Structure 1
Amino acid sequence: MSTTIAVVGGGYGGVTAAKALDEFADVVLIEPRDAFVHNVAVLRHLVDPGWSGRLFFPYDRLLTRGKVIHDRAVAVDATGVTLGSGDRVPADYIVLATGSRYPFPAKVEETATAAAVETLRDAHLALAGAARVLLLGAGPVGLELAGEIKAAWPDTAVTIVDPAPDILGTTALPDELRAEVRRQLAELGVELLLGTALTADPPGKPGQAGEFTVTTGTGTEIAADLWFRCYGVVPATDYVGGGLAAALDAQGALRVDPDLRVPGHASVFAIGDVTAVPEAKMAKAAEQQAAVVAANIRTLVEGGTELAAYSPASPGIALPLGPHGGASYNETVGVLGAEQTSKIKGTSLRVESYLELLNLDR
């Protein structure tokens, strides 16, 4: 008898798991978007729509045995997934890989590629016409967006506001890395206002052009033409209910056992941003978790009982500041500067690896 595995979510972890599981089981990948979105490249595409890389990848070559259903999961239990259409996908095993939500432009909400492209184009035109841009949040997204803006439009004034006392928040990264990023931001002319917050949000929607003036809690006035919110990641677990809901933590993330199973549910696994695994939520981590889950499910299908445990990665980051700037860190090599970061991530943004993953030609 064949084994059916439902993979809920077609992001980095979901497509990695689905492809590996497709080798030995009947996989159903459930994803409302009509194409895989390479979120790592969204900010580059925002400032440079003519970028030679690729942002949207079709799913139609990903699986050879399985299938992709473009629908949204509204409920999951140990025996299957209920879809927004009302249909149900029965499954022997389930992998929850729905990721997280993040304010635009780091992630686009639209499920149709054409609509997402239009949203990005409108924001690009607004950015191109802005003389002063305000970014709320000095985490990785805010810093990367600042670098992209300055690389595309060096004369555009960029101000970043964050209530934290330093950039990159409370992440366990070395001061040497922060110092290198601050140095490059200063060279680019990015203004950092740290340890303070706005007394009220700017008017209008993020990414919507329109002059405004706001004030920080310390009394500094900021005039800008455009603003973006660069904080507020939320695990996408609104469909989690019933017995699975007991595994949700206070932030809405799913607790998992070392083998990445949801506690109390022997056939339900979770990977990526949706989990409460204590590590940075990055594409690489989701892909590594997917590999562990695929191996563990294969072990179970073949009658085994010894499952592999996932080891969270140590703190690390590759932070581009435009195509040719940025800084990186991991505990093995230490802090790397702009040239090395550009080689790791800055120019290609790993597009080739995702073309290969989704079995696509360039």
Structure 2
Amino acid sequence: MSRSRIVIVGAGFAGYRTAHTLSRMARGAVDITLLNPTDYFLYLPLLPQVATGVLEPRRVTVSLPGTLPHVRLALGEADGVDLERHEVTYTDPEGVRGALSYDRLVLAVGSVHKLLPVPGVAEHAHGFRGLPEALYLRDHITRQLELAAAAPDPESCRARCTFVVVGAGYTGVELAAHGRLFTDALVRKQPLRHGIRPRWLLLDIADRVLPELDPRLSATADRVLRGRGVEVRTGTSVREATSEGVRLDDGAFVASRTLAWCVGVRPDPLVEGLGRPLERGRLRVDACLGVPGHPEVFACGDAAAVPDRRGPGQYTPMTAQHAWRQGVTAARNVAASLGHGTRRPYRHRDLGFTVDLGGAQAAATPLGIPLSGPLAGAVTRGYHLAAMPGNRVRVAADWLLDALLPRQAVQLGLVRSASVPLDTASPELARFPAAPTDSAKDLRAQEAPNHQEEPHEQQ
């Protein structure tokens, strides 16, 4: 290859895999720049385990400089793309503006929270899309139980140890399943008032949990959740959120200090400014992930509407595994556009899904075979270890320690809720001030995993 300038925007599943594949193919023959606000790739599927004390935060992060040879990291948040001038503008972590020129551009900017017009949600809900949000939620849950144990009256105690999760997709199900185990472990060390136990509610407007997945997976997850004591309420939505709790669409009020918002994601707004055709906010691309009219620009992952060859007029869903696989296709087609290899359309084959339900429980359908219980748990964790581009030994060690030792119930105090507001939060934009507070204002923050309010396909 000639020393062409390749700029990749975003280091999520699609961007990281594009950069990794290109770095192996080019081996220094091209200039590859990866623009990302942080210096790590975040393995989103395991984020619920960070929020509930199973894994330490660094276990789910993979160093970009340490794992991407021949790739230059530019720290910053992209804020504009000039398709005519072949230039990407960005702002670095210190607020300095910069620009990157390119011969080939790969847009892999991913997705952000999806907000619905529900009064009070932006102010009082917790999202779940990044490491700062997971750390804040872990502190928040721990703090609420500690305050509940010292509450002066039963009503306040019940409200503080009631946790409401909205959205029974992949992220919400995993968060509720892991969260229930986490709070049960905490109150064993610091009991609440007599007769009061942590309460978890999982709400969704759909008629079943995991509505996008195989009904067998849904049934397994529902059985485990209910058996664990999670109140699953399908066909239910939130009418209003306040600092004191949530009002449901049937008029009932649930007193709570915790509302986890896991209703889904939407494409990053950056693609809206390109002036190119969109499909429900996603940038339309051809089967080879190219942007029509701009042969030098490619897009993949959540921000790209990639044609699904299994059905005319359909597009691949916004899942981590599609993003991961599209990254390989994008890299190969970028190389082909430079005269090395042949363009290939994106193809995929679903080999099954996995849902980690905490402890030894999981639901999985490898090769279409429905599994549950410890066997599904082994398959699920084996899949995650195989899929992670780093930290496998450390993750496995944390799982072993969690099985043998009690979890540490301490507040780290690294993230204030104002640093992760739900209406603007992304994994990269959050900041890390000194210590948390616990006023009503603190109930602004966070949103699924996972990778992905979407399910995880097995490769």
CA gap of 1:312–1:298, structure 2 versus 1, over 3 A, is same
Partner of residue 337, structure 1: 372
Q: Please list the CA deviations of residues 87-128 of structure 1 after superposition, one character each: whole Å capped at 9, or x if unmatched.
A: 221111111111111375421286xxxxx6863553342365
Q: Please list the CA deviations of residues 220-258 of structure 1 after superposition, one character each: whole Å capped at 9, or x if unmatched.
A: 4423342211113111132542xx422222x31111110
Partner of residue 291, structure 2: 262
CA gap of 1:124–1:70, structure 2 versus 1, over 3 A, is farther
> What amino acid maps onto 1:106 in structure 2?
F
Percent identical across equivalent pairs?
A: 26
CA gap of 1:175–1:345, structure 2 versus 1, over 3 A, is closer
Choose from 178, 185, 188 the match for 2:225.
185
Choose from 330, 338, 346 the match for 1:310.
346
Choose from 136, 156, 163 the match for 1:119.
136
> What amino acid maps onto 2:3 in structure 1?
S
Choose from 165, 183, 205 the match for 2:207.
165
Choose from 239, 253, 259 the match for 1:227.
259
**Does structure 2 retain, via aligned residues, the 8 Å contact 1:46–1:123?**
no
Structure (1/2) with the larger helix percentage: 2
Which piece of structure 1 moves more, 217-226 or 116-125? 116-125
- Which runs of 5 or more structure 1 residues have no equivalent in the other structure? 111-115, 205-211
Q: Please list the CA deviations of residues 62-86 of structure 1 after superposition, one character each: whole Å capped at 9, or x if unmatched.
A: 3322200001111124423122243
Q: Please list the CA deviations of residues 260-316 of structure 1 after superposition, one character each: whole Å capped at 9, or x if unmatched.
A: 112222111111111223334332221111111111112221255x41111244484
- Distance, in Å, in 2 between the alignment partners of 1:247 and 1:283 is 23
Q: Which has the higher contact order (CA 8 A, sep 6+)?
A: 2
Partner of residue 284, structure 1: 321
Partner of residue 80, structure 1: 87
- Distance, in Å, in 2 between the alignment partners of 1:2 and 1:20 is 17
- Within 5 Å, which residues of 2 pair with 1:1-362? 1-23=2-24, 24=26, 25-48=30-53, 51=56, 54-78=59-83, 79-84=86-91, 85-102=96-113, 104-108=126-130, 119-126=136-143, 128-129=145-146, 130-154=160-184, 155-169=197-211, 171=212, 173-201=213-241, 203-204=242-243, 212-238=244-270, 240-241=272-273, 244-249=274-279, 251-277=280-306, 278-302=315-339, 306-314=342-350, 316-329=352-365, 332-346=367-381, 349-350=384-385, 353-355=388-390
- Distance, in Å, in 1 between the alignment partners of 2:224 and 2:42 is 29
Which piece of structure 1 moves more, 221-230 or 262-271? 221-230
> What amino acid maps onto 2:7 in structure 1?
A
- Distance, in Å, in 1 between the alignment partners of 2:135 and 2:226 is 33
CA gap of 1:351–1:151, structure 2 versus 1, over 3 A, is farther
- Distance, in Å, in 1 between the alignment partners of 2:368 and 2:218 is 16
CA drift of 1:219 comes to 3.7
CA gap of 1:58–1:351, structure 2 versus 1, over 3 A, is farther
- 1:254 is paired with a residue whose SS is strand
Task: Count residues in correspondence.
Answer: 338
> What TM-score, normalized to structure 2?
0.67
**Does structure 1 retain, via aligned residues, the 8 Å contact 2:10–2:35?**
yes
- 2:388 is paired with a residue whose SS is helix
- Distance, in Å, in 1 between the alignment partners of 2:48 and 2:381 is 12
- Distance, in Å, in 2 between the alignment partners of 1:117 and 1:149 is 12
**Does structure 2 retain, via aligned residues, the 8 Å contact 1:327–1:341?**
yes
- Which runs of 5 or more structure 2 residues have no equivalent in the other structure? 115-125, 147-159, 185-196, 307-314, 398-459
- Distance, in Å, in 2 between the alignment partners of 1:327 and 1:6 is 39
- 1:355 is paired with a residue whose SS is coil
> What amino acid maps onto 2:198 in structure 1?
T
Which piece of structure 1 moves more, 256-265 or 334-343? 334-343
- 2:64 is paired with a residue whose SS is coil
CA gap of 1:239–1:215, structure 2 versus 1, over 3 A, is closer
Which piece of structure 1 moves more, 334-343 or 6-15? 334-343
RMSD: 2.8
